[in-house]
Amino acid sequence: MTKPNTKPITVWLTRKPSWLSASWAVVLILEELQVPYVIESFRFNDVKNRPCTDICPNGGVPGMYHHLEEVYDTEKKVTYEPLNERQLLNQYLHFQMSGQGPYYGQAGWFNVLYHGRIPSTIERYNGQVRRFLDVLSTYLSFMSWNCRLDMLLQTPPGEDPLAKYPDLIDDQGLMPNDMPKGINNIKEYEEQIAREAAEKEEQ
């Protein structure tokens, strides 16, 4: 467990659709490890300029998952000690970074953000998203899911994007901005987190 006097970590969130942001994964890890943190935000375009590029030359917002695990996860809550399990985690990490992330990102760009419609490109990336779903449906069907596939693939209203994958559990409860339903902004979300933390301490 984290020491009570641990200095809060600053989590920077870009002002872009947060379903594109890796920072929320960092928040989840910090919550699980009970590491104190504060949330700050900055404009999305700022990540392409200094001083942000001094930290991440690629002009992105890095999620320091391994650092958090190595420094704060002394009880192995979000990772493993045995070699086989650790390598399996690395396998899925690279699966996400080298395939799932890029294809989902391109599908989101051409389906949602790009000013025109290029059918062949959309077909290509949507097809790859579905191929990755086949992989996930096979190997990760035991996990609960919280997806934004309806937004990513521009699924028609009322159509379930996971209908073809019955082994995947769509564990919703979030809005497209990744905040819980009923939460309107970061301030309300922080207040909810504080209330939940206080309730845990009272138990």
Count of domains observed in the chain: 3
Both 65 and 100 in one domain: the answer is: no
List of the chain residues with pLDDT < 50: 18-20
What is the Cα–Cα distance from 176 to 112, expressed in whole angstroms?
Answer: 13
Same domain for 87 and 68: no
Whether 112 is in a domain gets the answer yes
Residue-wise pLDDT for 16-30, tens only, equals 554 445 677 788 889
For residues 193 and 173, give the distance between their C-alpha atoms in angstroms, rounded to a whole number: 15
For residue 151, with 0-12 CB atoms within 10 Å meaning exposed, 13-18 middle and 19 or more buried, which class applies? middle
The CATH number linked to 126 is 1.20.1050.10
Instruction: Tell whether 150 and 91 lie within a shared domain.
Output: yes
Q: pTM of the prediction?
A: 0.57
Report strand pairing: 37-42 vs 9-14: parallel
- Looking at residue 19, what is its pLDDT? 45
Residue 178: give the domain boundaries.
167-202
Between CA 75 and CA 80 the distance in angstroms is 9
